[in-house]
Chains A and B, each alone.
Chain A
Amino acid sequence: QKEVEQDPGPLSVPEGAIVSLNCTYSNSAFQYFMWYRQYSRKGPELLMYTYSSGNKEDGRFTAQVDKSSKYISLFIRDSQPSDSATYLCAMSENSGGSNYKLTFGKGTLLTVNP
């Protein structure tokens, strides 16, 4: 089983739809969770990060972490064509400790159609 699993999609939705993007993980030591958005031929852009279970909201974006199920989600409300991109989840065990690694999912390609 891979450490982080992410459905590659592609996912295609109409403008205004609610989008749900998900990752599952196997390492129960993961404590830090991040979501990135990557446009074609660009570097990933940090969207949200959280260090705890529960929900974190930022505008149209909500990040949700369920550590008991080892499952994280990113919800996008009122999706726009400009949200069309690849979304990457990332996670790590701790900061400054022996485990340096940010482990990334392979990304989900999202297209929002006008």
Chain B
Amino acid sequence: DGGITQSPKYLFRKEGQNVTLSCEQNLNHDAMYWYRQDPGQGLRLIYYSQIVNDFQKGDIAEGYSVSREKKESFPLTVTSAQKNPTAFYLCASSFTVGTEAFFGQGTRLTVV
């Protein structure tokens, strides 16, 4: 089945630790995105990548880092510099930037 796989579904970390969220797609899409969703705030763009070995900051990139070494994979690291990391994180992909995006099922990160 084609789609986007995010893992894990739930993640718990202690404050001050870095954590990496996985996102893999087999849709052969060039563009990939990371969004954060908080209650009442809608979807906010963290980073996006148009092509392998390239990525750009979104609206709320501070405290996050990404890599795009393979077309299929776009992992997100939430660093200790992110002040409010507890949130629902969504990965998405599309053929090119700006076209209809397909989402994974999300990772709920809780930092205690």
Contact = CB atoms under 8 A, between A and B. Distances in A.
Interface of A: 32, 34, 36, 41-46, 49, 88, 90, 92-97, 99-102, 104-107
A83 B32 CA distance: 28
Say which size band chain B's interface belongs to.
20 to 34
A100 B106 contact: no
Given A43-B90, A100-B48, A106-B42, A95 B97 contact: yes
Contact of A101 (B42, B45, B88, B103): B45
Contact of B98 (A41, A88, A101, A107): A101
Contact of B101 (A46, A97, A106): A46
Decide if the interface of chain A is mainly helix, strand, loop or mixed.
loop
A43 B104 CA distance: 6
B26 interface: no
Contact of B42 (A46, A92, A100, A105): A105
A92 B98 contact: yes
Contacts of A90: 101
Contact of A95 (B6, B98, B103, B108): B98
Contacts of A96: 96-99
Interface in B1-36: 4, 6, 31, 33
Contacts of A45: 103
B99 A95 contact: yes
A32 B102 contact: no
A107 B56 CA distance: 26
Which of A46, A97, A100, A106: most chain B Cβ within 10 A?
A: A100
A46 B90 contact: no
Nearest to B104: A43
Contacts of A95: 95-99
B106 A104 contact: no
A93 B98 CA distance: 7
